[in-house]
Amino acid sequence: MKNNSKATKHTGIFKHKEDRWPVTIILMLTLLDFVLYFTLENTTLLIGYYLLMIIPKGVICAWNHHHQHLFTFRSDALNRGLEFFYALHTGVTTNLWRLHHVLGHHVNFLDQEKDESRWQRKDGSKMGVIGYTLEVAVTAYPRGYSVGKRFPKQLKPFMTYLAPTFLIVALLVWFNPVAGFFLFALPMITSLLFTAYVTYDHHSGLSTENEFEASYNNLNRVFNFLTGNLGYHTAHHHRQGVHWSKLPALHATIADKIPEHLYMRSLFSHR
């Protein structure tokens, strides 16, 4: 049984076989973006496609998040390539979430004076969702860099790939301004804001030192299918190194420790 378990985690170039379909779909969407970039000249259609893809690209942010916790491929080169494509969809470049989220938020989410995604104002009051969204999005890169100063090995890839990523995006916009803007530049901004917006519901209003009472959990099946079980949020914080596919099983072991009012089942919100 032990050998079979290991075999399920190491299939080909992927560390976990469960990542094959999500990554394939995301790369196909990337290919579609580039096909449209080189072939579509109708501004109205480009705007329509941008609007249509706001939610799908927002969902991709969840998979970028999973990748920052546990790299998808065995190969560093493939991981860096995937991160570039993730950045085009999400506005989050190599290692930003590893610094801001993995080494920042997950360490400090119980301390609102330090939390990189803090929902509490300095006076102790709860931010509104708009204020939280803007603050977390605008400060994402500075806060990520600040965390990185304590983790130079993680900061180096962030700094190495930051400028080339934005340079390529700038060249895409320069070469084909309208398509480059609506297919790449604007979605990056929108998705970063979308990411901040949806994370407001993860912890806001839960001021506690008990990790089992500090997160809302969304048990909606569709939500967890689309986001890779991100709704099992207490389990994710309990053991952030667990692969997304194993979160339901981990949740089952701690479910009795989570207060009933922290269980939600709606698709679009935890509240």
How would you write the pLDDT of the chain (271 residues) with one tens digit per residue? 344 444 444 558 999 999 999 999 999 999 999 999 999 999 999 999 999 999 999 999 999 999 999 999 999 999 999 999 999 999 999 999 999 999 999 999 999 999 999 999 999 999 999 999 999 999 999 999 999 999 999 999 999 999 999 999 999 999 999 999 999 999 999 999 999 999 999 999 999 999 999 999 999 999 999 999 999 999 999 999 999 999 999 999 999 999 999 998 776 665 5
Tokens 């329509």, residue? 48
Q: Say what the pTM is.
A: 0.91
Identity of the residue numbered 234:
T
Identity of the residue numbered 222:
V
pLDDT at 3: 40
pLDDT at 264: 82
pLDDT at 269: 61
* 105 contacts 57 by C-beta, under 8 angstroms: no
* 125 DSSP 8-state letter: P
Specify the long-range contacts of residues 153-162, CB closer than 8 Å, at least 24 apart.
154/95, 154/98, 154/99, 154/103, 155/95, 155/99, 157/80, 157/94, 157/95, 158/93, 158/94, 158/95, 158/96, 158/98, 158/99, 160/94, 161/80, 161/83, 161/84, 161/93, 161/94, 161/95, 162/93, 162/94
Instruction: State the burial class of residue 171 (Cβ atoms within 10 Å of its Cβ: 0-12, 13-18, 19+).
Output: exposed
pLDDT at 18: 97
